[in-house]
Structure 1
């Protein structure tokens, strides 16, 4: 077996006898960069790159001639990132003579980063072919079934763009126009834009290409350039047959050279997409433009007009039906299709709710309105009302909580939760909003129960609140779904016997409306460049993705399920407000595990914000049943809640109880002895996730951190990882004592993943890092532990990277 050479051993012995800082770590890596083992040389070169070891550039240049191609690949990348131009001649040599395509790729990238103008002639050759001067591994294509030159061609174009090489324009255009070549539209057009004004004639030619993709990226490149010639070419692009290209040209010209003629041209365009783009920029105070937009035949333009009117009003309330914006929105509400009408009504609900009282009353109380239309309008109204913060809107949001539509109910309840958390809101309105949440969280019927009203001091009083209920649904509402309408919406209804079970589209289920979901999907398919999703859109999409098997679901047909869903949603929202602590503690002792779990999660979130509020909450919960409870003498309400959770038969409730316990300070717990016994039982449980949650609680209760060291040998990988992360946070000295052996015993882990980035960058002192690095380095002189060296070198690097 090959041993590490004596000279390397001697070098290491000198290094590892002193404290190991960043400089010493670089020297250790330099030693291993000359090892007889190729994998060690790779790890060493990667470490020098990550540590930005500029003093090691000569050694890395030497590594460009290594026998192992992986070493050469990493050396080329490292030299580009370190930015030392002395590496340019060696990189050009590798680009010319190294047979490995991957080495050539990294050499091209490095030369671009180093602004190596002397490499431009070679790079130009690579744009159009393999180059007569350049050597290749002729067997590589047949061996790997991939021509590495295709990647190198793109990288060469990018490198020439960084060099702003004017002479590269011709070869780039030759490559673009080669019918047998790969599509270079994106890379070539971006490169021409970076090269500058000398590329304008070529970009102009590309704007007339038969390829829609090439024209689009040529216009986008022109949009990034500021010369008058670029603007002239953009003006011609306003006649392009593709509406996306016309929009791009219009919006760019509008920023650079706005004019009335430009608007007129866009408003007369035959594409509703272009007219929408113009509408988004118009000054709607000019009534002529508003009238033209109102008379546009396209529903998409009308929807854009609704959004434009809402944005133009900037949230300021409309106080009179005579105001032009009110009239315009009302016209769209009365005289448009369902989607536009709903959107307009939602905008009116946001801007002028008191002016449309009758319309709101009809929307929530009429039974003759088509269900889909009613649902769509209710959703839009709730969305509009959620932008308000007055008692009038709160009353209608309460009304919406009784809607027959699940999406409307949940949207309304979430909006009430937001109202309850607004600091600027009147305390009376805020208290009423909290009362609604509590009523749902306690599963009280709005029709039969009085809502507990909360005053500004957090006390409760009984006050009737008029709200509607969905407990008594009419036979019409419980009727079978309209199968024909569902088929028209593109739904897969499956077998005849399953047709009553409801829609299959996950996105439609989450949005609450299949037709809207279908429109959204079609719109996304038509759109080439889709913008970044909002947080709300991301949440909806994530929920939709969970339904992988497209199960048939009926969201509004089960009254018990509806009530339970609203209840759990309300409990979750209650966790955002300190005033609800007492109510949450009562719910946390529910016999229904899902309600108890939701309340415990809410209390845990509250503890993150104000643990003192939890500890000072009054005891209002009912007596806990069972023999164990009789032996427990609670002194605080929160202790009783935690005790109930830890003695639950449901593991999920126990786990959340442990998480809540871990948030409570030990010196404030009256009966910590009882909790210690319960946590000890959890530490011995066979369920690994329960052991994981028990460990932080154990430490909070004053447990000895050294006791947890045994869990570093746990049979569960998750427990071992969690133990090391916890020790790193709570007992770093102890973690350092064991991290080396643990990492070697768990090679699938990295130092970053075990200690955490925050621990590595903020909490480890320089002395602790040196101590840890020395512990790692001590293993490097043991020839019998060579298998561990590939783990140790990256770990030492991560300490100082």
Structure 2
């Protein structure tokens, strides 16, 4: 402190630096006051170091006086002090965002000195959307029309840095005008700003102007226009845009070709035309390595539509490129093309890439093999990945562990398991963690006594992430890992100092099944319901639910009822789910009352879970109050709640088959969401013959022609449950048509409905014998269905 007023400026400067390094611990009012005094020192180095120190002290230094002093320093006569002031304001966070500060930073963006511009941009970038106030945005809009081109450019840059919160209609309109600016720098900056504003800026006028900019004489404008179109998302993926971007792939400038590749990749599957794919294949042979790399990435982003033989054959060559970034991107692209890509040649090239001289390429090859799916799980691949477990680079070893885990049971050989056990002792924690996770993913084959013993030991690892992974692995190994030692160690882990370990221990105990449903485990999980961390509390709820009826003690039920009032919505939702899974023992009047209250929760997931829980509690929960509240939930604004309410009413059975319920379900049959409509039909089917009203039957006929096959299927299933009342001639006519539906599941559902029909239906069907004979012939095309269909007809043959 005394050193700050030393007569030697070097001592003062060092004192500022030392206080800054101490960070928030040094942020006393006296220190902050002395540093603010130092901001007025005659020596520029002292002023600069004082700025740095205030920034490092954190938000405690973000007092109004401190911010005002730093804003004044933004105009310091020394160009080395100004950047330090901007850097400090960026570090002080949201409290530092004042209009005066933003104004100074905007002015600094137009400074003739590039270092001043850079530090201003950096400060605004750190403040980001926090600086996007309406007043600031208004100032920037005005600046876009300034007579000084540097100011206009600075305003565009500032808006680009502020992001999507600056995407007002006025800003977008002004940026479109800026695309016609006489200054090229303003043009390309405006392009960049529109791209950063995201999909909100994807208006036809914006897209049209950007397409025009693709033909500009300035390469920076063309490049920025490509980038902006990519950032605007699917709305910008018009045929005109795509065609122009394909042309840009042949631009004379490297950066334009690079940006065109990136834009086409970002437009994703909508851009996956044959013209685009051909253009990107040509770009794979570009003279510029960055363009080749970007073309690889774009082809991977286009997905399976780009998985043509030509693309795959070209990408297979790319892992032999002279540039490591291109080789890595080629591996990523082959993985991104999905299950269509795993030809023997592709797999062989990726296996070769596992031995690449560059560690990033080797890591990318591991990840690509995983994405190719089961076809890549050959003995050659597995053997090579086992070798890669000894790679000199820890990230590659980690990727190899992850790859073996993702390949699943096919990779669960004794050699793989042995090598992963060795990897549990790796010096790098990331490798150890991935090895535990891989052993868990390999399933029951990996649940050897040696593996389980090693995982138990690892539960005491010094690294919290490793302990967490060990918990997860034990849970994934399932019931084979449910030894008394494992359960005891997981119970101890419930008290770990690290929340991630406690959370994973809860989940593991739930996954171990009924063997883990001991009194000790249940008692400990009840205690964990009061954990300070919401994720841990939620996991405890879920685990108690997974342990089932054995966990349905009065203490557990009482604590879960309390959890229904938790401040965290995920905990409340988890408590609902757990009570439903505990079964009839949990169907007390108190539980039912609390779940009814939860139907009115502010969170959609809680409301949905409450519906599900009431349905799972079954007939005991079928009170008039519950039914009334579920009927109200059928009109919820969230589709997931409406769907859950339908399912719950169906599960409550005949008691819920009131005229009010049936009438409301009929309304829901016209819901805009197909999953809700399907659930409504399932509910009607479960309610049985009481639901077979004339209105329901009329709706049934309409639903049999629904555009969504899941709705048609559910409607047929409902028909089989509604009984004789539903067997009208019109319904039967639709039944015959459905036997030839394009969807196999719909045909199968119609077959099942046929079996449940009686003499009345058989009489109707005898009038349509010729139609049925034709459908029998048609059904022979689907051998797996034919026997089922023949059985259906055989069931009715005595009646027809």
Q: Scaled by the length of structure 2, what TM-score is found?
A: 0.38
| Higher RCO, 1 vs 2 (CA within 8 Å, ≥6 residues apart) | 1
More helix by share: 2
Tell me the TM-score normalized by structure 1.
0.38
